[in-house]
Amino acid sequence: MATVSPLAKYKLVFLGDQSVGKTSIITRFMYDKFDTTYQATIGIDFLSKTMYLEDRTVRLQLWDTAGQERFRSLIPSYIRDSSVAVIVYDVANRQSFLNTNKWVEEVRTERGSDVIIVLVGNKTDLVDKRQVSIEEGDAKSREFGIMFIETSAKAGFNIKPLFRKIAAALPGMETLSSTKQEDMVDVNLKPTVNSSQTEQQGGGCSC
């Protein structure tokens, strides 16, 4: 019988200016729905999804900013230990495209070359309001040496391909650089009562 390797887990973080559609991309991918009422992100923490590829299965952990990017107050630990940074801009908002330089820089500062970066131009459904061409997005991604794709969370365009593209680019288990799990302690773990302690209690239960 073939050995079943442990499920690889990858932390994906979403970055980009406020209201470019980061949360909508996540909810479209997770639940295949779109909320037309915009409200600055409240309530989404991180969500997990298993993807079944041709040659393996991967577990994606999708982290949303919880709105902390609004006043440039993201916690540094948000980016830490991430495998993928998805940097989103709004094709109908040129400033959000120009600001992606800062987000790429932030990721590189925190993660060096240990992270896959994907540039995502969202809201392609706003055809008449487009301010950033696909050629410009592609050129910037080449300049930074990162992946690129355009999407529309509202229309459901290219969302699944985005995540398939990411999953295909993920390194296998053997190259994961995460900390050895055996050294960690689980704070929620039930305590172990050692034998000498039980002995001292005269076999009594302290509960």
Partner 1 sequence: MDEEYDVIVLGTGLKECILSGLLSVDGLKVLHMDRNDYYGGASTSLNLTQLWKRFRGDDTPAENLGSSREYNVDMIPKFMMANGALVRVLIHTNVTKYLNFKAVDGSFVYNKGKIYKVPATDVEALKSPLMGLFEKRRARKFFIYVQDYETNDPKSHEGLDLNQVTARQLISKYGLEDDTVDFIGHALALHRDDNYLDEPAKDFVDRVKIYAESLARFQGGSPYIYPLYGLGELPQAFARLSAVYGGTYMLNKPECKVEFDENGKAIGVTSEGETAKCKKIVCDPSYLSDKVQKVGKVARAICIMSHPIPDTKDSHSAQVILPQKQLGRKSDMYLFCCSYAHNVAAKGKYIAFVTTEAETDNPEVELKPGIDLLGPVDEIFYDTYDRFEPCNDHEADGCFISTSYDATTHFETTVKDVVELYSKITGKVLDLSVDLSAASAATEE
**107 burial via Cβ count (<10 Å: 0-12, 13-18, 19+):** buried
Q: Count the site residues for partner 1 by CB under 8 A.
A: 40
Q: Smallest gap, in angstroms, from Cβ of residue 70 to partner 1? A: 7
Residue from 68, 95, 101, 133 in contact with partner 1 (CB under 8 A): 68
Tokens (6 digits) for 11? 């932390």
Distance CA 157, CA 137 (A): 17
Q: Smallest gap, in angstroms, from Cβ of residue 163 to partner 1? A: 17
Under the binding rule (CB under 8 A), the answer on residue 73 touching partner 1 is yes
The span of 61-69, 87-95, 99-107, 169-177 binding partner 1 (CB under 8 A) equals 61-69
Of 168 and 193, the one with the shorter C-beta distance to partner 1 is 193
- Listed in sequence order, the residues at least 6 apart from 114 whose beta carbon sits closer than 8 Å to its beta carbon are 177
Residue 132 backbone phi and psi in degrees, to 5? -125, 120
Under the binding rule (CB under 8 A), the answer on residue 203 touching partner 1 is no
